[in-house]
Amino acid sequence: MEQRIKYLINSFVIMLAGGTVYSYSIFRKPVEEYLNISSVQSGLPFKVFLMLFAFSMPLSGYLIEKLGVRKTYIIGSFMIVASWISSYFINSIWCFIFTYGVLGGVGTGIIYGVPLKVVSLWFSDKKGIATGITVAGFGLSSFAAAQIFKFFITRYGILLSFFYFGLVIFAVLFLCYFNVRIPDRDLDRENYHTGYDTSFVLKDKRFYILYICFVFACSVSLTSVSFTASYFIDFFNLDIKKASYIVSVMAVLNATGRPFYGYISDRFGFISACIISFSMYFIAGLLFIFAGNYFYSVLLGFMIIWFNLGGWLAIAPVSTMRFFGLSHYAKNYGAVYTAYGIGALIGMNMINFLNYNLFFIYSVIFASIMTFAIFANRKKIKYEF
């Protein structure tokens, strides 16, 4: 086994610990019952989390360049653990917005850039697949988290579940610290000095094309992720145990979409990855619109959406590297990643005013528009690195 494989595995595990955002729908209902709040109110912590997670990514890139990966990792880890453990003390929705949304969102945003920076330098010759495997951990997290939360909630209730889960996350992140390391500069000089600074990137048309595509994908996928368990509970009368199994299956698809699209992006390019992804969003939207009363059609629709969300969390970092190089990758991807927060804000506010049918009509229409726009601009979108 190559020595660098251990850094890939370690980066995967860090993402696994940090990706619990996707398990939110599992404990959303218990939080509603404990705090006696509406479904609209219970969506606020998730919105705040997603926004601060996305907009903390540029901060992550800045900290990595100024402090290095290890100190940045410590800051992010501390905030994530504090987020879960302090949620034990919540007594209102505003407390939960702060503990889960603010502390968790900023902490996750800070730590997210660390494993991406590590693998981008250790695997500069295999960017796509290495990045895809790393971010697969973030997607697969909800598979494990859903089962852990189900176990804790049924035995200890929602508050102790947050406390015990925080202890689990602390143990994992503490052990991972010892393998947070990038190659020596002398051994990897070329990778440190190839690429564009963020000031140049923000003037490049490719940045805005990538950004708009990422916003659309996140507006559909992140919103769907937030109501997956609730959808099956409300429309098909499933209990939380069965809904948690469905979310676990979705998490696996979210994870597998990442290496798949990482490979497609690296091997066949940004255009191919976009056309495949947007075509799948189109199909998923049609399933909900015309077969939304059938359990297996809805299940397939959610499976496609979760798979594509994972895909865009590989397409975006790989394309950022291939468009703009590695030397300022953490900062550049931080700028790109704000699209994640914008997409979440658009989608989750939209679902408050639209019914599910209209939301998926939006998915179908914009998937068609994005496919046409990408194909029309295919000659302007080229990798440089």
The per-residue pLDDT for 185 is 60
The per-residue pLDDT for 292 is 84
Task: Give the H or E element holding residue 24.
Answer: helix 24-35
C-alpha 149/C-alpha 275 separation (Å) is: 36
Confidence band of 193 (pLDDT split at 50, 70, 90)? low
C-alpha 117/C-alpha 145 separation (Å) is: 25
- Does residue 1 register a pLDDT over 70? no
Total tally of structural domains belonging to the chain: 1
CA angle 35, 88, 96 (to 5 degrees): 50
- Does residue 242 register a pLDDT over 80? yes
> For 179-192, how does the pLDDT look when each residue is reduced to its tens digit (9 = 90+)?
998 887 644 455 55
121 in any annotated domain: yes
Mean pLDDT of the chain: 87
Q: Which two tokens stand for residue 145?
A: 């988290």
Using a pLDDT cut of 70, give the percent of the chain over it: 97
109 in any annotated domain: yes
101 in any annotated domain: yes
Write out the residue range of the structural domain in which residue 124 sits. 5-175+189-378
383 in any annotated domain: no
237 in any annotated domain: yes
181 in any annotated domain: no
- Does residue 159 register a pLDDT over 50? yes
> For 63-76, how does the pLDDT look when each residue is reduced to its tens digit (9 = 90+)?
998 899 999 999 99
334 in any annotated domain: yes
Confidence band of 351 (pLDDT split at 50, 70, 90)? confident
Average pLDDT rounded to a whole number, residues 88-108: 93
Confidence band of 41 (pLDDT split at 50, 70, 90)? confident
Query: SS3 letters for 329-372?
Result: HHHHHHHHHHHHHHHHHHHHHHHHHCCHHHHHHHHHHHHHHHHH
Find where tokens 């494990």 sit: 144
Q: What CATH number has the domain bearing residue 291?
A: 1.20.1250.20
141 in any annotated domain: yes
